[in-house]
Amino acid sequence: MEMGEEVKLLGFWPSPYAIKPKIALHLKSVDYEYIEETLQSKSDLLLETNPVYQKIPVLLHNNKPVCESLNIVEYIDEAFPSTPSILPAEPYDRAIQRFWAAYIDEWFPTFREVALAQSEEVRRAAIEKVKEGMSLLEDAFVKCSKGKPFFSGDNIGYLDIALGSYLGWLYVYEKLSNINALNKEETPSLLAWAERFSASDAVKDYMPEVDRLMEFAKIIMPRFKAASN
């Protein structure tokens, strides 16, 4: 990071989308100012810097805003080219990791569908979606990691960040819904990866405590239920 550069990150502590750029900035050893947003009201700065979606996270690099979590992670990798690289070096590997990262963002809300299901039929269907996704990601990990500890090989990278940012909420939804999505029988490789990821010095300070997330979930889940009725 060059002298005189200013980096700010607008986020919200429970958000997996805000966790992604936090980890990326840490991996790149970028000093930045973190600005916490709230649920109660959106700050003028947030509305000014993300007028399209009006949501976090927003990265401000020398007052230039970059929005959307995965887009921000890629920007950080390119704007701060010091090692380690977050995206793989090979174009094909980058494309594969981008594909799965987009899939994860699209699939993960299925966990909330299980927790909010109003009937056993809807719940069973949502659980099947969860299991299908976990099976696909188990296979993706085996192929992407090539026998190494992380999706990106020896070190945490793009796809690790994409999935790892959701781990706290995955554990919360497991408790809320009484399901066991990560287990030794069906997802042994992912289970071991999740333990390594969460324990890594690169990310552990940025992962919200599950108990704190659970308390937050107790506040917001009734709102989600009311909205789904």
Per-residue tokens: 216: 């937050």
pLDDT at 72 over 70: yes
Mean of the pLDDT values across residues 62-78? 98
How far the first Cα of the chain sits from its last, in Å, is 49
Q: Under CATH, which architecture does the 7-79 domain have? A: 3-Layer(aba) Sandwich (3.40)
Per-residue tokens: 114: 């299980």
pLDDT at 112 over 60: yes
Predicted local distance difference test score (pLDDT) of residue 3: 53
At 146-202, the pLDDT tens digits run 999 999 999 999 999 999 999 999 999 999 999 999 999 999 999 999 999 999 998
Specify the DSSP element, H or E, that contains 209.
none
Ordered by start, the domain boundaries in the chain are: 7-79, 91-228
Which CATH number, 3.30.565.10, 3.40.50.10490, 1.20.1050.10, 3.30.9.10, labels domain 91-228?
Answer: 1.20.1050.10
Per DSSP, the three-state class of 22 is helix
Specify the DSSP element, H or E, that contains 42.
none
CB atoms within 10 A of CB 32: 20
Band of residue 82 on the pLDDT scale cut at 50, 70, 90:
confident
Per-residue tokens: 44: 């003028």
- CA–CA gap between residue 168 and residue 149 (Å, rounded): 20
The DSSP string of 73-99 is HHHHHHHS-PSSPSS-SSHHHHHHHHH
Tracing tokens 């947030």 back to the chain, one arrives at 46
Tracing tokens 């999935």 back to the chain, one arrives at 163
Mean of the pLDDT values across residues 83-89? 94
Band of residue 1 on the pLDDT scale cut at 50, 70, 90:
low
Residue type, 118: Q
Mean of the pLDDT values across residues 96-115? 97
The sign of the torsion formed by the CA atoms of 78, 83, 86, 92 equals positive
pLDDT at 97 over 80: yes
Per-residue tokens: 173: 């939804």
Predicted local distance difference test score (pLDDT) of residue 179: 96
Residue type, 67: C
pLDDT at 40 over 90: no
Of 11, 12, 17, which is closest to residue 73 (Cα–Cα)?
17
Q: Is 114 exposed, middle or buried (0-12, 13-18, 19+ CB in 10 A)?
A: buried
Q: Using alpha carbons only, what angle is made at residue 16 by residues 74 and 5, rounded to the nearest 5 degrees?
A: 45
Band of residue 78 on the pLDDT scale cut at 50, 70, 90:
very high
> How many Å separate Cα 224 from the centre of its chain?
20
* Cα pseudo-dihedral 181, 191, 154, 151, rounded to 10: -20
Predicted local distance difference test score (pLDDT) of residue 90: 96
